[in-house]
Structure 1
């Protein structure tokens, strides 16, 4: 057991260390004052988001980008609240704003909604975000400048949670920072395997060439990662990460532990459908390391595992996790969340293993609907 524990820990150390190394390999992109050229179609699926929409709707008119160079396509996925009325009241009668009705053709409402929007999109580049997000002023300017200076066909960009003064939010924020660290680090070592649909751009022609979400519609979520996998396989040199502080999209963390668990079960449910071998390997090692923390703790308490070796394993994981999250926190200017790192570090193995276990057998609820794995 000691040999197995040491092996898993060393592999974990090398893996997370490679992400920390890759994080620095991606240079921070500096926004330049270039004439705007790229035409964007911003796609926003929504369902029952009346409470969350005001933040997004306030940020859209504040975008610095020329109005004639972008359109915003909302797709209503059978909302049962006042979402449509909220959008119309805030942004109605603007020529570059439209609302479509979703047309369900698969087990994935969000993929259906994005596909419908792309069919109606007038512009060359698609940018997806979510209805509970806030968009930065120079969001589209960042994409435009990057596209002008790079041969890109698919661009992942940074996402983080809005900071709130409670532990549940800080726990999720630490997790998001670790995910963003792994995302950017993966691009840095030329092994891109993560992205976030709340801030994701790609050419409409590329989406059509890759047959959109065909082959992945049985899984309800994953509109972002499955498309990334296809793009990486077909055009690896055209898949980029836009590491720019002016491109950071802010979204809301889950309000309760119950909704957080449901969200993470949804995230976990799509992992079995991943085709990216490195992504699967990363998920497996992270899960094994968290399970190892729990099992060796119990064995140490029972006297069946060496206390000194257990402490070494904990110290190694603690330091490499902190190293990566600290880099992310610096980039996202969210160092304040680090005050909860110790408690979050102790809690996370139990949380992640619990979610992994119940995701194997449990369905999940998303936007008022129940989905099977």
Structure 2
């Protein structure tokens, strides 16, 4: 057991260290004083988001970008609440170029169908996606435009975090997403991008068609973002970038209770087995193994089978290397004030992570009122 724990610890240390170093290799991008010229089709799928849409709509209304250069395509995925009327009422009488269209289902993935439906009607050169429960920053499109004008790119990943963080559960989720963002940025820094978030993503419409959209992974309900990234990287890493600018950060709300958090994370984890990239599979396996061995060592220690020293050494290793990465990300996102929750979260996270991973393998999950089976 000690040898296995040591091996897992060393592999984990190497991978997280590489991602931590990679984080610093991605240069900060500073918004340039360019005249905006990139045209965007903003794609926003939604299903029963009446509670969240007003905040999103207000943030869109506050965008600094010229309205003539972007359109908004809202895709209604069988909403039964007032979502559609909220959108139409908010933009009535304004000059915003928007439309609300129904989702055309053709696969097991409602969100992928929604994005494909919208892109089929999109008139602009660039597609930029976000979610209905998000808030976009004032200079969001300006950042994308400036980056596009100064880089030869066709696929851009943007930063995502949480806002209105108040409870311990909120802070626990924030630290989790900061670690994911750290891995995302670090992956780009070492030339092995393997994570992204559809809440803040932009790519050329022509690229979507060249890659045949989501063909090949339509059977998986989630993964509209990561599987598209995997396809894009195969066309050449030189044109796939991370937009490392906190002014481009899209924020969303943490899940309001533990049950919803579990469902969300199980959904996220369910697509892991479908990753095609070698590095992404190794990283996912390493993270699971590290958390699993900590849980096993703890249980074995209680049963007086394993040594407490091995458990303490391994936990300390994970605690330190994880903190270094999360600290770098929290400083970049200007959310260092939440690091105080890191200590208790570190003790809870291995159990949480293992539970999510095991359930993602053997059980289905619920999402937006729908059930999905393995």
* Correspondence list, 1:160-179, <5 A: 160-179=161-180
- Compute the TM-score of the two structures, normalised by the length of structure 1: 0.98
Are 2:107 and 1:106 aligned? yes
The answer to whether the 8 Å contact 1:37/1:69 transfers is yes
Q: What's the C-alpha RMSD, in Å, of the aligned pairs?
A: 0.9
The answer to whether the 8 Å contact 1:48/1:80 transfers is yes
Are 2:53 and 1:65 aligned? no
Q: Tell me how many residue pairs correspond in the alignment.
A: 373
Q: Specify every segment of 5 or more residues in structure 2 that has no aligned partner in the other structure, as ranges.
A: none
For 2:252 and 2:206, locate their aligned partners in 1 and report how far apart those are by CA, in whole Å: 28
Q: Who is 2:89 aligned against?
A: 89
For 1:163 and 1:317, locate their aligned partners in 2 and report how far apart those are by CA, in whole Å: 28
Are 2:227 and 1:226 aligned? yes
Aligned to 2:135, what secondary structure does the other structure show?
Answer: coil
For 2:168 and 2:338, locate their aligned partners in 1 and report how far apart those are by CA, in whole Å: 9
What does the per-residue CA deviation read over 1:103-138, in whole Å, with 9 as the maximum and x for residues that have no partner?
100000000000010011000000000000000000
- Compute the TM-score of the two structures, normalised by the length of structure 2: 0.98
Q: Who is 2:17 aligned against?
A: 17
For 1:92 and 1:224, locate their aligned partners in 2 and report how far apart those are by CA, in whole Å: 31
Which stretch has the larger CA shift, 298-307 or 118-127?
A: 298-307
For 1:235 and 1:360, locate their aligned partners in 2 and report how far apart those are by CA, in whole Å: 32
* Correspondence list, 1:296-311, <5 A: 296-311=297-312
The answer to whether the 8 Å contact 2:67/2:96 transfers is no
Q: Who is 1:347 aligned against?
A: 348
What does the per-residue CA deviation read over 1:142-162, in whole Å, with 9 as the maximum and x for residues that have no partner?
000000000001000100011
The answer to whether the 8 Å contact 1:47/1:76 transfers is yes
Are 2:189 and 1:151 aligned? no
The answer to whether the 8 Å contact 1:155/1:240 transfers is yes
What does the per-residue CA deviation read over 1:184-206, in whole Å, with 9 as the maximum and x for residues that have no partner?
00000000000000000000000
Measure how far apart 1:300 and its partner are: 2.2
* Correspondence list, 1:1-373, <5 A: 1-93=1-93, 94-373=95-374
Measure how far apart 1:306 and its partner are: 2.5
Aligned to 2:322, what secondary structure does the other structure show?
Answer: helix
The answer to whether the 8 Å contact 1:45/1:76 transfers is yes
Measure how far apart 1:163 and its partner are: 3.5
Aligned to 2:42, what secondary structure does the other structure show?
Answer: strand
The answer to whether the 8 Å contact 1:163/1:170 transfers is no
What does the per-residue CA deviation read over 1:53-101, in whole Å, with 9 as the maximum and x for residues that have no partner?
1110000111000110011110000001000011111113445111111
- Structure 1 runs (4+) deviating above 3 angstroms are none
Q: Specify every segment of 5 or more residues in structure 1 that has no aligned partner in the other structure, as ranges.
A: none
